[in-house]
Amino acid sequence: MTEQSQPGKPAPSEPATPTEPREMTEARHTMVEKQLLPRGIADPRVIQAMKTTPRHLFLPAEAWPIAYGDHPLAIAAGQTISQPFIVAMMSELLSPLPEDAKVLEIGTGCGYQTAVLVALGYQVHSIERIAELSRGAQKTLGELDSLPAELLVSDGMLGNPSGAPYDAIISTACARKVPPAWIDQVREGGLIITPVKRFGGRQYLMRYTKQGRRLGKDDLGLVRFVPLLRGVE
């Protein structure tokens, strides 16, 4: 019997990389135990991906002491790295899909959500409109051996027609309405997971399911994301 399978004994905290400081390993496991499990994250694959993806490495060393806190953080170019719970929740919303599903991510940012999606086994294509961020994500993901199928610098509002159809499109930037290109590029029965801004300025996380020419809707509650903007920088 391995140590991990002994009943009642928690799985040991494994470092994500051979040189990882012990405090980072412990902070990541505490994040899973205190922020994700009590709020209902239950898919063992998502829990494992969150336990093994070194969030701090997507941030400058000065931010490591707060890398696993229960909040988003500022990254370069005025953008953010999402709160760990939001990354886990958005990842878990993909769980109905097959394990090797083709997923288009809009808003690579620093690449943390990308790494979690790659750890889950999806074929990930990720778009970022700010070239500087995409370059940083490429470097970190490459060092972690977590590069997705494709990292693109382009306007994600237009999707990526050459790779369509996708099983899902997941956006970490907030749209005013679902861009028509996303609906065109998702397969029948596929998912669009995105924050959407409603009248009054509030943002709601939505999961849409493509059903012929209409979209089935699940409203997952209030969230805060940076806006989905046109063009590239």
Q: Which residues bind ligand SAH (CB under 6 A)?
A: 79-82, 106-107, 109, 112-113, 127-130, 133, 155-157, 172-173, 226, 228-229
Q: H or E stretch including 223?
A: strand 214-223
Question: What is the nearest approach in angstroms of ligand SAH to the Cβ of residue 69?
Answer: 14
Question: What is the nearest approach in angstroms of ligand SAH to the Cβ of residue 98?
Answer: 22
In 76-213, the DSSP E strands lie at 80-81, 102-106, 123-128, 150-153, 166-171, 186-197, 203-211
Of 11 and 83, which has the nearer Cβ to ligand SAH?
A: 83
Q: Report how far apart, in Å, the C-alpha atoms of 169 and of each of 17, 109, 218, 233 are.
A: 30, 16, 15, 22
Marked catalytic residue, from 5, 13, 82, 146: 82
Of 3 and 145, which has the nearer Cβ to ligand SAH?
A: 145
> Is 154 annotated in the active site?
no
Distance separating alpha carbons of residues 54 and 36, to the nearest angstrom = 16
Q: Report how far apart, in Å, the C-alpha atoms of 222 and of each of 23, 56, 174, 191, 225 are.
A: 32, 26, 12, 19, 10
Contact 67, 87 (CB under 8 A): no
Of 79 and 185, which has the nearer Cβ to ligand SAH?
A: 79
Of 94 and 130, which has the nearer Cβ to ligand SAH?
A: 130
* Cα atoms found within 13 Å of the Cα of residue 104, Cβ hemisphere only: 30
Question: What is the nearest approach in angstroms of ligand SAH to the Cβ of residue 122?
Answer: 14
Residue 36 Ramachandran class (φ > 0 left, ψ -120 to 50 alpha, else beta): alpha
Question: What is the nearest approach in angstroms of ligand SAH to the Cβ of residue 172?
Answer: 4
Contact 102, 125 (CB under 8 A): yes
Question: What is the nearest approach in angstroms of ligand SAH to the Cβ of residue 227?
Answer: 7
Joined together, the tokens standing for residue 43 give 């898919």
Distance separating alpha carbons of residues 18 and 94, to the nearest angstrom = 30
Positive or negative: CA dihedral 137, 143, 144, 148: positive
Of 37 and 229, which has the nearer Cβ to ligand SAH?
A: 229
Residues labelled as active-site residues = 82
